[in-house]
A = this chain, B = another copy of it.
Amino acid sequence: MKATIKDVAREAKVSIATVSNVINGKDIVKKETREKVTRVIEKLNYVPDQAARTMIRKKTNTIGMVVPSLSNEFWGSLAGNIQRQLLNFGYTLLILTTESDPKVEQISLNTLKERNVDGVIIASLGLGSKADKRYVEALLEWGIPLVSFHPYEKKLTTVWGDYMASSMEVVDHLISLGHTKIAYIGSYLSGIERELGYRNSLMLNRIPVDERLMISGQEEKFEFFSQYGYDCAKKLCKDNVEFTAIFCSNDLIAIGAIKAFEDMGMHVPTDKAVVGFDDINMASLYRPALTTVRQPITEMASSAVTILIEQIEKPDTDHFAKTVTFPMKLIIRESSGAQI
Using a CB–CB cutoff of 8 Å, the interface residues on chain A facing chain B are 2, 47-52, 54-55, 60, 69-73, 75-77, 79-80, 83-84, 87, 92-97, 99, 104, 107, 110-111, 113-116, 142, 224, 226, 230, 252, 255-256, 258-259, 262, 281-282, 285-287
Contact = CB atoms under 8 A, between A and B. Distances in A.
Interface centre among A2, A72, A114, A285 (most CB of B within 10 A): A285
Interface of A is mostly: helix
Report how many copies the assembly holds.
2
Given A73-B73, A75-B76, 20 more contacts: A47-B114, A50-B115, A51-B116, A69-B76, A70-B80, A70-B83, A71-B76, A72-B73, A72-B76, A73-B76, A83-B96, A84-B97, A87-B96, A93-B94, A94-B94, A226-B285, A255-B282, A259-B285, A286-B287, A287-B287
Contact of A285 (B49, B50, B72, B256): B256
Contacts of A104: 84
A79 B70 contact: yes
B70 A77 contact: yes
Given A51-B60, A70-B76, A116-B49, A281 B224 contact: yes
Contact of A51 (B54, B83, B97, B142): B54
A266 to B, nearest CB: 13
A263 to B, nearest CB: 9
Contacts of A79: 70, 95
Given A47-B113, A114-B50, A285-B255, A83 B71 contact: no
A282 B281 contact: no
Contacts of A75: 76
Nearest to A259: B285
B92 A92 contact: no
A319 B84 CA distance: 33
A73 to B, nearest CB: 5
A6 to B, nearest CB: 14
Contacts of A52: 51, 55
Contacts of A99: 84
A287 B70 CA distance: 24
Contacts of A76: 69-73, 75-76
A282 B55 CA distance: 46
A97 B77 CA distance: 10
28 contacts: A2-B113, A2-B142, A47-B113, A47-B114, A48-B114, A49-B114, A51-B52, A51-B55, A51-B60, A51-B116, A55-B55, A69-B76, A71-B76, A71-B77, A75-B76, A80-B97, A83-B95, A84-B99, A87-B111, A92-B94, A92-B111, A95-B95, A226-B285, A255-B282, A259-B285, A262-B287, A282-B282, A286-B286
